[in-house]
Chain A
Amino acid sequence: MRKPWYFWLYVRSPITKILLGMLAVLISFAALAAQGMFENKRMEAQTDNWHGRSVEKGAEIFSSNCYTCHGVDGKGLPGVAPALHSRYFFTQRMKDVGWAGSLHDYIALTVAAGRPSKSKSQWSQVMPTWSSKYGGPMRDDQVEQVTQFVLNWQEDALTQDWGTPAITSTTGVSGTGGVTGTTVTPMVNLDPFQPFHDGPSKAPTNTITYTVGTLGAAAVGTTAALSATLPQSAEAAAPAGPRPPQELYTAMACSGCHKIDQDQTPDNQGQPGPNQGNLHETAATRVSGEDAETYVYNSIVNPSAFVVPGYPDGIMPKDFKTKMSEEEIRSLVKWILDPNRPK
């Protein structure tokens, strides 16, 4: 037979073959040893990697489900829902409610189960149930991801101010006096925490001075001992005349469960409550014999009367009738159903 041109590539000697095989074994072992050398570092990096990725996912969940009540940066909304991005939350809250487990579990369980509405809550909202185990919209892994996200505030929360000596000395420990002196350097990172009415802090008053922040600049410099001052709840703060509907929509945290700027379509099912961008088209079709306005009105005052298919009953609070006046509810209904509502 004719020899092909690549003939020289053939290995003929058995000894060479065996040597090449041994070389291959050596290379394999060297590669495995290299892998073994970095194995601890690699596992650590992988642990961090998967933690990082779940924080990323958790951030997406938070920014589409939680920010409407807990604020964009988790610092809470006055009278709506408490701050999570808060030094108090990370250091004292668990002691105050007598929670023996880890903060991770506290958050995960709160998110999973929600908090039942209390008869006289300082919050205009209830913390909804999120886990699909209890009728909410989230899978367990999503609860875990958003928990990781909340925990990731820790580093920043721990640097928050509970009233630095400089401030307390100008304003005094007790009392609600604002900063009067001009020498105070503005505190950039105040704890935005609003104390819980139903869980007064057991921290010794002298050792911790809480900064009772509302939001933004107004809060700067308002320091007070926790036991001395409690912020006003949403109810107490209700102003005289009827409140405008767009304000109600956030203050009652409808916006926490419903998206008004998105349409409810088969591909885009709002969670935990249906989107309301196109409610003006669909409302009249929900219950026969009820026109759009009657239907929406009834949905607000008695959410269980008709439960939107695909959603569990009992998520939407049933006590809006006691929180808004008749006039306010009517105007809210009109506003929701207005197809030309400014976005």
Chain B
Amino acid sequence: MAVQPEVKNKTLLETALGLADDTFTRITAGISAGEFRRMLRGEAPGKPNPRLKPHTEAFLLHIKPTYYHESVTRFTHTFRLGLLSTYLFFVETITGLFLMIWYAPSPDRAYTDMTRLLSNVPFGQFMRDLHRLGAEMMIVVVVAHMVRTYLTGSYKPPRQFTWFTGVLLLVMTLFLSFSGYLLPWDQLAFWAVTIGTSMADAVPPQIVGATVNLLARGAPDISANGLLRFYLLHVFFLPLLLILFFFVHYYKVVHFGISLPAQEEEVGQDTASKVPADRRVYYLPDVLLDETMFLIGFTALMIVLTVFFFQAPLESIANPQSTPLHTVAPWYFYWLQGLLKIANKMVAGVILPGVLLGLLAGIPYLDPNPSRRGKDRRVAIISGIIAGVVMIIWSWMGTPYYAVRAAPATEIVQELIPEEGAGLVRELGYARLPNGIYDTTKEMLPEATLADYEKTNPGFVELLHEFKSLTAEFDKEDKDFNEPQSILTISQEQPHLKRIQWTITWKDAKGKDGKFTRSFFIHEDSMYWEQYGLRDFSYLSKPEKAK
């Protein structure tokens, strides 16, 4: 066999090194080991720039520009929010995949699958919390990204279509999060989604609305079919659609280049894609390094948050027969819930959101001002701020603090021990709820006990105080709630189980007696801090149980 003369001259070591370098270059799609070393040492590339090769060779890199304008690589220009949105989507995909292993979308199983995941799967809770945290962060990040592009005027020509695909991405992100909301099959999920889909019902004409609602729910009420449909939307259809529009959006961004800070170009011009040679920052290695380290840092932040602070709440299992008092939408739909309180379903649930969305998508055309400079855009910026404030006010109206008040007695109890969620009583927990009868019209605790509790159990003293002042408050506010007597009775129902009974009597405006009684139960082992989204570490300090 004829051996190439140059190979003949090489030693074994040289051949091996050459092979290794060759492999390295294949993997990095065109960067040799020596070039890699020069990159790490921060040396300038040679000419022609050998670091451009991966952009033409590698699939994932070909959608990234080879170089950026120096001004847009600065963190405070984009805050890397677009990148972060994409990244969070991948975090969701991966954590979601793990959750799918333990989850079956059927009403018989979904909820127990969740509790089993939380109590029997190592790192199962971590995965769920990370997935939930990622989902909520993604909404925040996408909205913040929108605000950033709005404030820098990046929706102006030629980027109108980029903005439009962005609006589609926003809508899909919201739907993606909302469709995931139903899957744990708890009360929170069930009723939020029932209310959500019922808005589709209001779409005119009636036949369309009713059909859309029926298609989403799979039956007149959400049940097995509805759960399956939401599941498929959540794990398959919406992510697919989102990925598609990611690419459209990304392509537009690369095509036009990220808009420069407004001061750097003439009004009405767009020079983003013509970067002078001395202002170029190459993707490889500079921007890649920045992005990678930024994402690693962000991942660390998410992990630390989930391990030490955040815990996704899970309410009791969905019960189609009982609507909990004050059901709430997820926070990013509070504004919609607020609107629904002041207008009917058709106006608040269909027409207004439609108009708002239309306005948002139409911003590039509504704002004819060619300048992207802050001082020329007073109107745009001020109207943006006003829109934000209005959103916040509507959202506040969506919380239970606005306009849906039940009867005073119900409301007092709901405040202290809500049907779903935690409340002061569950916060205290079994051990800090001493058995006894506590009557607001009398001295609630004997002098000596009070002094003792103030030191050893201040939470309970606060609870009694709150109970009394809530009663007094409603007495003052509501003319149908007079001379109230509120009694809290805590008794032992079973081993490890206390009964928390509320008895409230009052006289209405005509002097007629009213009475409200309701019992709740608290078990020694139940923990409720997660209802606030907070991690509960109380188990670490609990004494070991004798088994």
Contacts and interface: CB of A to CB of B under 8 A. Distances in A.
Given A1-B71, A14-B42, A18-B293, A59 B115 contact: no
B521 interface: yes
A25 B120 contact: no
A149 interface: yes
A43 interface: yes
Given A59-B493, A59-B494, A27 B539 contact: no
A8 interface: no
Interface centre among A25, A53, A156 (most CB of B within 10 A): A53
Interface in A17-52: 17-18, 20-21, 24-25, 27-28, 31-32, 34-36, 38-39, 41-52
Contacts of A153: 494-495
Contacts of B377: none
B521 A59 contact: yes
A170 B277 CA distance: 108
B417 to A, nearest CB: 11
B292 A45 contact: no
A280 interface: no
Interface string A140-176: 1100000001001111100000000000000000000
B94 interface: no
B495 A155 contact: yes
A14 B40 contact: yes
Nearest to A17: B293
A49 B494 contact: no
A35 B307 contact: yes
Contact of B523 (A10, A14, A53): A53
B307 A31 contact: yes
Contacts of B317: 141
Interface centre among B308, B319, B497, B525 (most CB of A within 10 A): B525
A153 to B, nearest CB: 6
B285 A14 contact: yes
Interface centre among B74, B112, B495 (most CB of A within 10 A): B495
B297 A50 contact: no
B540 interface: yes
B119 A56 contact: no
Contact of B119 (A13, A46, A57, A149): A46
A140 B112 CA distance: 11
A83 interface: no
B303 A32 contact: yes
A154 B316 CA distance: 25
Contacts of A4: 76
Contacts of A39: 122-123
Given A45-B527, A53-B316, A59-B521, A25 B76 contact: no
B119 A32 contact: no
A52 B426 CA distance: 12
A42 B527 contact: no
A1 to B, nearest CB: 7
Interface in B511-547: 519-527, 539-540, 542
A124 B142 CA distance: 65
Given A43-B122, A52-B524, A153-B494, A27 B542 contact: no
A186 B119 CA distance: 44
A332 interface: no
Interface residues of chain A: helix, strand, loop or mixed (majority): helix
A155 B119 CA distance: 24
A152 B293 contact: no
B236 interface: no
Interface in B302-319: 303-304, 307-308, 316-317, 319
B260 to A, nearest CB: 11
B240 interface: no
Interface in B29-49: 40, 42
Contact of B120 (A24, A34, A43, A141): A43
Contacts of B118: 46, 50
A96 to B, nearest CB: 24
A60 interface: yes
B119 A49 contact: yes
Contacts of A18: 289, 293
Contacts of A38: 540
A55 interface: yes
Interface in B94-126: 108, 111-112, 115, 118-123, 125-126
Contact of A31 (B112, B304, B494): B304
B476 interface: no
A78 B40 CA distance: 86
Interface in B239-280: 264
A18 B41 CA distance: 11
Contact of A56 (B112, B120, B122, B497): B497
Interface string A235-265: 0000000000000000000000000000000
A14 B287 CA distance: 11
Contacts of A52: 496, 523-526
A20 B293 contact: yes
A56 B526 CA distance: 9
A233 interface: no
A63 to B, nearest CB: 6
Given A4-B76, A43-B119, A152 B496 contact: yes
A53 B125 contact: no
Interface string A120-143: 000000000000000000011100
Nearest to B305: A31
Interface centre among A18, A49, A140 (most CB of B within 10 A): A49
Interface string A1-19: 1001010001001110110
Contacts of A59: 493-494, 497, 499, 521
Interface string A175-188: 00000000000000
A50 B115 contact: yes
A47 B125 CA distance: 12
A282 B398 CA distance: 39
B300 interface: yes
A276 B7 CA distance: 100
Contacts of B523: 51-53, 55-56
Given A28-B303, A41-B540, A49-B527, A55 B497 contact: yes
Which 4 A-B pairs give the minimum distances between C-beta atoms? Answer: A52-B523, A45-B539, A52-B526, A48-B525
Given A31-B308, A46-B118, A56-B497, 13 more contacts: A4-B76, A25-B300, A28-B300, A31-B303, A45-B527, A47-B119, A48-B525, A49-B527, A50-B119, A56-B520, A59-B499, A73-B493, A152-B495
Interface of A: 1, 4, 6, 10, 13-15, 17-18, 20-21, 24-25, 27-28, 31-32, 34-36, 38-39, 41-53, 55-57, 59-60, 63, 73, 139-141, 149, 152-156
11 contacts: A21-B293, A28-B300, A32-B307, A36-B123, A38-B540, A47-B119, A49-B119, A55-B497, A141-B111, A141-B112, A152-B496
